[in-house]
Chain A
Amino acid sequence: MKIALTQERIVFALAVLLFAGFAIVLPNFLTAGNVLTLIRGVSVLGILGLGMAVVVIGRGIDLSIVANMAISVAWTLDMADRGVPLGVALSLGFGFVVLMGLITGFLVAYVEIPPLFATLAMGAFIYGFGRAALLSQDVIQMPAHAGILNLAGTGHVLGVPMPIILLAVASLLAFLFLRYTRPGRTIYGFGDNLQAARITGLSVRPMQVAQYVISGIVAFAAGIITATAVESMNTRIVNGTLIYDVILVVVLGGVGLSGGKGGVRNVLVGTLLIGVLLNGMTIMDVQYTVQNVVKSLILLVAIVVDSLVNPRDEQTAQQGDI
């Protein structure tokens, strides 16, 4: 049987090649410790990617995911620092992302603002609101009595770091949700063809809202892992390039931005490639900016090859699909 060269396979092959290359060239690369470090390094990125993928499959995009993560977690930590019981603080943080998800979803589904734009504006709003109304400083420290919560970032199960376990759990949940539940299939349905899905009778709009709530919750979880791993939450990451990396991970693996295509596997493949790359270059002590260039060039190669192998057709391309 002929194996079709999908973008996912191209990227996977690229990751394997790089992995093999690094394993041969770099002496310390192929050790159990380093492989765990490699995956651990991108586990938060992978989790965020899963949240983003749910939205992208439904023909949306969530540019506010990083702002949501930073502000909700920073607020939670801030409250805990000021003596609010941890459970209450966590619930409020959780409530915050759900509320923001609901607003974003409402704007996209009911007001019909293009998602790119709605989430861009919501990202600016969430960050600004958080900095102006909720937080007094850029970096919020982890409270001393966080206790069991610390395990999320620093714990180990059978020698495997907790973030990796959580990535695995999140992947499994996302996989089951997207593949086997009614809402999951609905997302594929309207991601592929919104009008057709509506006419068929799927409740498209509530699910669109749910998408953004899901990505908010995922962001909150990813934020907790990050914060516990480094003992603080720096809200300045909102202005960084993390959001581009998240999109990269999703799209690199072959989740189409036009919706309806891809799944958890694609996100994991994309995450793997980025992880291998970053880890290898870090071992080689490549400068950060050069790492960025290499990362981008690899991405470019992946999408060029995809475009050559699976050319888009003028007759079937969707209008306004950027």
Chain B
Amino acid sequence: MVETSAPTGADDAAAEAAAARPRFSDTLVRLRYTLIPDHVVGEILTKRWVDNAAPALFLVLVIATFGTLLPDFFSIGSLTSSLRQLGEFGCVVLAMMIVLVAGGIDLSVGSVFALGNFTALLLMNVLNTPAWVALVAVLAVCGLVGLVNGVLIGFLRLRAFLTTLVTLIIVRALVDMLLLRYATAITAGSPDSSVWDFVGDGSIGPVPFSIVVLLVLVIGGHVLLSRSRPGWRVMAVGGSRRSAHNAGISVRRTVCGTYVISGLLVGLSGFMYAARLSSAGAETGVGLELQALTAAILGGNSLGGGRGSTGKALMGAITVLVITNGVVRLGMQSGAGSMILGIILILAITVDVRWLKNRYKVLNKVYVSPAYNRLPPAPETAAGSGSPYAVNDKLRDVEIIGLGVVEGPEDVIFDRRDDLYCGTRHGDLVRFLAPDYTRHEVFAHIGGHPLGMQFDRDENLVVCVGGMGLYKVAPDGEVSKMTDETNRTPFKINDDARLRLTDDCDIAPDGRVFFSEGTMRYEMHSWPVDALESRGNGRFCVYDPRTNTTRTIIRDVLFANGVCLASDKQSFMYAETWGCRVRRYHFDGPKKGRIEDVLPNLPGYADNINRASDGNYWLALVGMRSPPVDLALQMPGFRRRMARRIAPDEWLYPNINTGCVVKFDESGRILDALWDLGGKNHPMITSMREHKGYLYLGGISNNRIGRYRIPGADPTWNGYDAYWGARA
């Protein structure tokens, strides 16, 4: 098979026959790499929610362990009492979480909890106020402590750790002093309030009241934190205080706000605790700050800010509560509980820290996940072989336009005034002015790298912008977005609604834009890596300006590239780069929805397709196939080992440096091939456009545009008039 580049006689025939018929082991490899979706692992690892895996696993382990050790762990009575505790503790952990997420820490939660408990009992038992008055008073008192913390830390910018340490001591001392005076009165009094009793003992259905409160807070808090402006501010401040400040967020007010929220949540928790136990002991809330901190961190909220959610807080709260309660109920020797808590903490944090540190290393190793791609033996290209692809040197003497002026003109196009347009990797559309194309100007700045282009009926330039989507540039240079998303595939892990690499487009007479997206798994700059996968990550979409909707029409394309409407205007030719073929898709008419092969086996990697003056099509081959790469494509395991073990710049890539232009007709016959054998002026071609007897050549990594005189071509033909009709 290695010999396919220089075959001889009978060996050749035998080799081709063998290569054409897959062996059994090949079939096994193909099945293995088709049926097992390896790429999902990498896609899951890119998701932020996967951070929760370790805490969640840990939670399950803890529950399973104590569930087996304690026979009555899952009994109703035991569960209900644990759940009431969880409702209260969960609120405190939420309070700690919100402060942590904004980059602070609140050590005063334990004391504030005791203060809230005391205030509620004082009002209910001694002053006999209605329950709602007590609640408001508790929230006011605890919120005030939070406000003091917030003003000190947010506005005066004291250190959170020290400041809340101080408030911890002061508030604790305050509660102790108050208890000395009122403890007996509190114990003596008994409030007569059904609301109070309901808060302490009531349930909504089978769910205790405090759990309902907690769930509402967790769900509401998640929406606030992840979907609202104030929540984003908190996350931004925690993620990077400096950037948030420079972005105009009021860092001080945001930080202050988190402490107030913390105070309110802890107050609410203290209120529920008071209603449940009516106990005004001096030990209330002692050490709660460490428990809450432990829970928050165990759940995956990071110390120092920027990473956290209410769900994480809830997971951590359940874990810590199960451990502390479980250890107590196991009846172990005094101290053993503390020891076990310490060990569990160290283990959990170790897992979390190592996970965070190594996640991206793992991701880098497993994201590239090659699939099986067997190509037929490549057609002959040797000079004198009689093949239609035979190499020649027709492009040796192409004229050069804009040498050193443009970088990365992936596609070129002409308007009706003969001006030449191309994109650059700096995000500009550059216009070269007719007739000699020596003068140029920046026509429009888009920001992303413009790739395939097409003029619509109203002379707007429709541009595929890598990394951005489909854009429209009006004749006066005004840029507007057409679309940057399509319908999302259900159950796909990567968010494929977003367009990552729009590549080429063409426009139907009714205005619909058919465009390709090369790959959904790689960004613009790493598109060659998609060749190593050859999984079929590309797709074709259609944008309908009449309804302003975008829909995916063809999926699983081996790098979707060139698009060009066929002569019937009811179908388009499309290039499948790593599949080395050109196919035709009927979007209307009698064959609607059908796909036909036009050029099933090319000697190189197909890129853009455009119309020729004689009714045929030009096709650019960005690079030529080679036997080693073809062989590697049938060996996914080999490519996988390569991607894991060696550096990306040592990987075996397909050739994307030397290619050619071919002309073909709708029946799939190759009519012409243009090469630059010397490799001097224009070896790399991603697109070509015929205009008034010349062929203009673009290349995504070139610093020039080539111009080739086509012998015998119609010197008046221009693409715009030919397609949209000449105008006066």
Chain B residues positioned under 8 Å from A239 (CB to CB): 286-287
Beta-carbon contact of A314 and B165 below 8 Å: no
- Chain B residues numbered 314-333 whose CB sits less than 8 Å from any CB in chain A: 332-333
Report how far A307 CA is from B156 CA in the complex, Å: 7
The interface residues of chain A, by DSSP majority, are classed as helix
What residue in chain A is nearest B346 (Cβ atoms)? A121
Q: Is A31 an interface residue (CB 8 A)?
A: no
- Chain B residues numbered 136-180 whose CB sits less than 8 Å from any CB in chain A: 152, 156-163, 165-170, 172-174, 176-177
Q: Is B345 an interface residue (CB 8 A)?
A: yes
Report how far A117 CA is from B241 CA in the complex, Å: 22
Q: Is A304 an interface residue (CB 8 A)?
A: yes
Stretch at the interface among B205-213, B350-358, B430-438, B590-598: B350-358
Beta-carbon contact of B287 and A113 below 8 Å: no
Stretch at the interface among A128-136, A146-154, A225-233, A270-278: A128-136
Chain A residues positioned under 8 Å from B161 (CB to CB): 257, 322
Chain A residues positioned under 8 Å from B162 (CB to CB): 247, 251, 257, 299, 303
Q: Which of A114, A120, A121, A322 contacts B103 (CB 8 A)?
A: A322
Report how far A289 CA is from B174 CA in the complex, Å: 8
Beta-carbon contact of B353 and A296 below 8 Å: no
What residue in chain B is nearest A61 (Cβ atoms)? B161
Chain A residues positioned under 8 Å from B160 (CB to CB): 322
Beta-carbon contact of B241 and A292 below 8 Å: no
Q: Is A158 an interface residue (CB 8 A)?
A: no
Chain B residues positioned under 8 Å from A125 (CB to CB): 338-339, 342-343, 346
Q: Which of B169, B246, B337 contacts A244 (CB 8 A)?
A: B169
Q: Is B104 an interface residue (CB 8 A)?
A: yes
User: What is the 8 Å Cβ interface bit string for chain B, positions 67-83, against chain A (1 contact, 0 not)?
Assistant: 00000000000000000
Report how far A285 CA is from B353 CA in the complex, Å: 49
Chain B residues positioned under 8 Å from A156 (CB to CB): none
Beta-carbon contact of A131 and B335 below 8 Å: yes
Q: Do A314 and B242 contact each other (CB < 8 Å), given the known contacts A114-B303, A244-B165, A320-B103?
A: yes
Q: Which of A117, A120, A296, A317 contacts B170 (CB 8 A)?
A: A296
Q: Which of B105, B152, B169, B293 contacts A296 (CB 8 A)?
A: B169
Chain A residues positioned under 8 Å from B195 (CB to CB): none
Beta-carbon contact of B158 and A247 below 8 Å: no
Report how far A280 CA is from B165 CA in the complex, Å: 23
Give the Cβ gap from B181 to chain A, nearest Cβ, in Å.
12
Chain A residues positioned under 8 Å from B286 (CB to CB): 239
- Chain A residues numbered 222-267 whose CB sits less than 8 Å from any CB in chain B: 239, 241, 244, 247-248, 251, 257
Beta-carbon contact of B339 and A297 below 8 Å: no
Give the Cβ gap from A32 to chain B, nearest Cβ, in Å.
32
Beta-carbon contact of B241 and A317 below 8 Å: yes
Output the residue of B286, B333, B345 with the most chain A CB within 10 A.
B345
Beta-carbon contact of B349 and A312 below 8 Å: no
Chain A residues positioned under 8 Å from B340 (CB to CB): 128
Beta-carbon contact of B163 and A124 below 8 Å: no
Q: Do A300 and B349 contact each other (CB < 8 Å), given the known contacts A131-B338, A292-B172, A319-B304?
A: no
Q: Is A157 an interface residue (CB 8 A)?
A: no
User: What is the 8 Å Cβ interface bit string for chain B, positions 223-243, against chain A (1 contact, 0 not)?
Assistant: 000000000000000001110
Q: Is B305 an interface residue (CB 8 A)?
A: yes
Q: Is B17 an interface residue (CB 8 A)?
A: no
Interface residues on A, range: 35 or more
Q: Is A1 an interface residue (CB 8 A)?
A: no
Beta-carbon contact of A290 and B177 below 8 Å: yes
- Chain A residues numbered 292-322 whose CB sits less than 8 Å from any CB in chain B: 292-293, 295-297, 299-300, 303-304, 307-308, 311-312, 314-315, 317, 319-322
Beta-carbon contact of A117 and B337 below 8 Å: no
The interface residues of chain B, by DSSP majority, are classed as helix
Give the Cβ gap from A116 to chain B, nearest Cβ, in Å.
7
Beta-carbon contact of B333 and A132 below 8 Å: yes
Output the residue of A133, A287, A320 with the most chain B CB within 10 A.
A320
Q: Is B290 an interface residue (CB 8 A)?
A: yes
Q: Which of B152, B174, B294, B339 contacts A132 (CB 8 A)?
A: B339
Q: Is A219 an interface residue (CB 8 A)?
A: no
User: What is the 8 Å Cβ interface bit string for chain A, positions 63-88, against chain B (1 contact, 0 not)?
Assistant: 00000000000000000000000000
Q: Which of B152, B156, B246, B353 contacts A111 (CB 8 A)?
A: B353
Q: Do A296 and B173 contact each other (CB < 8 Å), given the known contacts A307-B158, A322-B104?
A: yes
Give the Cβ gap from B297 to chain A, nearest Cβ, in Å.
6
Give the Cβ gap from A119 to chain B, nearest Cβ, in Å.
11
Report how far A111 CA is from B348 CA in the complex, Å: 12
What residue in chain A is nearest B104 (Cβ atoms)? A322
What residue in chain B is nearest A292 (Cβ atoms)? B173
Q: Which of B105, B177, B354 contacts A322 (CB 8 A)?
A: B105
Q: Is B25 an interface residue (CB 8 A)?
A: no
Chain B residues positioned under 8 Å from A314 (CB to CB): 241-242, 245-246, 251
Beta-carbon contact of B334 and A257 below 8 Å: no
Q: Is B18 an interface residue (CB 8 A)?
A: no
Beta-carbon contact of B303 and A117 below 8 Å: yes
Chain B residues positioned under 8 Å from A297 (CB to CB): 170
- Chain B residues numbered 281-297 whose CB sits less than 8 Å from any CB in chain A: 286-287, 290, 293-294, 297
Chain A residues positioned under 8 Å from B305 (CB to CB): 319-320
17 more contacts with CB within 8 A, not counting A319-B305, A322-B160, are A114-B303, A120-B293, A128-B337, A132-B333, A133-B339, A244-B168, A247-B162, A251-B162, A257-B159, A289-B177, A299-B166, A307-B158, A314-B246, A317-B242, A319-B242, A320-B103, A322-B104
Interface of A toward B, CB cutoff 8 Å? 107, 111-114, 116-118, 120-133, 239, 241, 244, 247-248, 251, 257, 287, 289-290, 292-293, 295-297, 299-300, 303-304, 307-308, 311-312, 314-315, 317, 319-322
Closest 10 CB pairs of A and B: A131-B335, A128-B339, A320-B304, A125-B342, A128-B338, A124-B342, A121-B345, A132-B335, A292-B173, A314-B245
Interface of B toward A, CB cutoff 8 Å? 103-105, 152, 156-163, 165-170, 172-174, 176-177, 240-242, 245-246, 251, 286-287, 290, 293-294, 297, 303-305, 332-343, 345-346, 349-350, 353-354, 357
A sample of 9 cross-chain residue pairs with beta-carbon separation below 8 angstroms, ordered by A number, consists of A111-B353, A118-B349, A122-B346, A126-B342, A128-B337, A129-B339, A251-B162, A314-B242, A317-B242
